[in-house]
Amino acid sequence: MKHYILVHGAWEGPWSWDYTRTVLEKQGHTVTAIDLHGRYGGAQSITNVTLDSYVETVVNAINQLDHKVILVGHSMAGAVISQVAERIPVKIDKLIYVAAFLLGSGDSVIEAMKRDPDGEFLPELIFSEGQTSVTASEKTWRSKAFHDVSEDRTLEALPLVDVAQATEPFMAKVVVTDENFGSVPKVYIRTAIDKMVSPKLQDEMLQNWNVDQVHVLQSGHFPTLSVPETLAELML
């Protein structure tokens, strides 16, 4: 049996993995959904939340274990798991990117979003005066993120994403090498009707690295909510 470490994307928390986690655990696997610090119950100010602090949280969790893990990242967490793999490649059996940012070295999440020809989420974001945090309206979440999610699950998620997200993790540049990050096997789960990270951008990012397997889901950006059982089957 495997140990899956699940890392949520921006605005989310470990709750976003609940439906997928249940399927994995029923198959006998161990699952840990990381709560990136500075989020739910976190003590840090949003101005202290950085990509490095996210990475440190995941690295610390994995280093407490005496075995390898399958490390899964959704959305922005793609940048996080890439940096984790750069730091501790020997601890990771496989990386799984779920509609996630698989960036080349020197790239950032915000730069990738800006060059996304079909990305509909970024233009709708509401930045704070100092550009240190960002939010989105309920209308944006419904039309650009949860457009294929059932109404009951959308109603569950909306209050949980109604928070300010630090912008630094979007702006920080990923630094990865062939020797470390490049040596870890990779799987990409592509979301075919995604409005936040469009299929075109996902295809572009798939050219950055050697990816061992690519799966396609007929899903928007949140297969964790719309088709969690199918997502779990692909992760298995």
CB atoms within 10 A of CB 99: 29
> How far apart, in whole angstroms, are the C-alpha atoms of residue 81 and residue 146?
24
Q: Is 99 left (phi over 0), alpha (psi -120 to 50) or beta?
A: left
* Strands of the sheet with 3-7, listed across from one edge: 30-34, 3-7, 69-74, 92-98, 186-191, 213-217
75 belongs to the catalytic site: yes
Catalytic site residue from 16, 53, 75, 226: 75
CB atoms within 10 A of CB 45: 10
For the record, the structure tokens of 106 come out as 């020197």
Would you name the residues annotated as active-site residues?
75
